[in-house]
Structure 1
Amino acid sequence: MSIFNSLSCSIFVALVLIGEAFLLSRAQDPSRLSLSYYSKTCPTAQDIVRSEMDCAVKTNPRNAAFMIRLHFHDCFVQGCDGSVLLDDTATLIGEKHADQNVNSIQGFELVDKIKEKLEAACPGVVSCADVLAIAARDATILVGGPYWDVPVGRLDSKTASVDLANSDIPTPQQPLATLIAKFLEKGLSVTDMVALVGSHTVGMSRCVNFRERIYGGDFQLTSKNEPSSQANLAKLKDVCPADGGDDNVSGMDYYSPTVFDNAFFETLLQGSGVLSSDQEMYSSLLGFQTSRIVDKYWADAALFFKDFADGMVKMGNITNPQGGEVRKNCRFINI
């Protein structure tokens, strides 16, 4: 290994150790989340969300990935506070047009529909942030993924931050050290990161996010010209031409893109991950820890399911210390 690579690994190890120490020393968030928060005020809340999600996923399986992604993008900006759902107004700039949200996050109409049903049953009780957390869990189950209990009681933010959305949400082109640092800053470990990225097993990516990888030689480098990888590359090039077609999409799991399973990790083992940021977890020189986790998840789907569920609970427990309200309409703060 070169001096440069040794130095890079040393820096990476230091980053991980500092981050883990930060996780241990950070004060607990005095959250009011609980499993029974709506047991008296809206006992049918989770049933209503589940019913709407069941219908939506049967109509379009991609609705599952939409809800998981919305919850993730919400929690990474100001905590899980429904800020990602806010529309722009004369006095508020929302997060929907942030670099990692525009043309990426969808499902707002589905959230509106769920919220309307909740408001009809229990006016002013269930927050939009909780809708996202519950819907993400139900979405995962409905496409074959694991169950977890969702603590509830989040409040909806009265603010949004396009600047934080641009800086805090991971991007498809960022190197592994940057991605890990972003997760650690949110109180999420390296294991949490790899598990949560595993939700890409039902995700789709736009051509603009992987064009450079498939035409710039990176895909050939990590896949080592294996026949199965070459077939995957050909599929990606059919979807994503060298010029144009920015909004064309490809599944990030070639094998079962509508089923929540561990097949996504096989693509990383083959070196054929669609996104550079995903493949970095297995192929980066700094990926000595993440590559071992990828190996484990491909070998043991039950372990992946457990860690994913645990990671979703941890991420969902990131709350906005500024507090907030229960919005009547998820797109606007209450007047």
Structure 2
Amino acid sequence: GDLVTAESGKHHWLQEGFATYYALLAEQELYGDDHFNHELYQIAERLQQVAKTDTVPVMNEKASSLSFYQKGAWALHVLREGVGQDAFRKAVKTYLEKYAYKNVNTDEFLAEINKVSSYDTNSFRKRWLEKGGFEVAEVLDILKKNKFMELYLKLGDLSDKRFAEKKPIFLQILESDQFYPVKEEVIFQMAEVPFAEKAELMRVAMKSGDLKQRQAVARTVTKIPPEFIEEYITLLDDKSYITREIALNVLCAGFPERQGEFLDKADTWVGFNDKNLRILWLTLAYTSPNYRTADKDKFYTELQDYASPQYESTVRQNALANLLYIAKPDPEVLRN
């Protein structure tokens, strides 16, 4: 938007689509092709969902931010795949040099593409820029060029099969060096499977040491059998604020007689900028009947303080949600 600026809102996607897509390309350089394609897949899922109601095309000043940024990024990816990476890079370089510190429109950008490729930019323009909706089939064809994404998408086809049929496949995946989203999907598909049937696979995921796999176990094993509790407790040591939050909640709810043990372990946690772990700890510590009874007022006062105007909105919202859960008659909560 600073080097090359769209001449009107109709061409705004040239700014935001490029910004989003080139951020993804930078991530590709840092984290690899599998990460890059998974990010594109997640964007595609969002766009497919909103396309049911958001019918305004990208080349329209009234298009949504999601369209300008994320559909714009996908349009550039389709173009790059169709033209070829080297030709696309050459065209973009010429485009940026030619229109530096000037206003530009879509025709001028596509004209530079046409100079380096015979790719049908008219058809591309109609499908991706002038038409609402989302080109799901075209997107899937592009994503499936990546082996990881091909496997990830095939896993969806297994969701309706009996667990006994897919268990050997799941075990093989969990023991492989596949990118973590495939393993997450395997664990999520086992969410409703009785623990006794999936115990071997859960232990493989836990022993992997991978934060994402272990977090998926935390999310899906919410009723912990006695033989698994000591392994589950190790999630409280994971270097993930999300995992710790889930595990502390699940353990305190499932084993109230050991709440004191779990709360003592989490006493100094703070968490994200919204103080998710500290606010959760205060809530659990206050509502646990037999835990540090002499400090109850102190716990409540600190929680109440986080809801006050001296803290930023995310901290206040988090604190207020927990204070409302506690449901103590408190005019200060209403004022905040």
TM-score, shorter chain, exceeding 0.5: no
Higher-RCO chain (CA-CA 8 Å, sequence separation at least 6): 1
Identify the structure with the greater helix proportion.
2
TM-score by length of 1: 0.23
Which of 1 and 2 has greater Rg?
Answer: 2
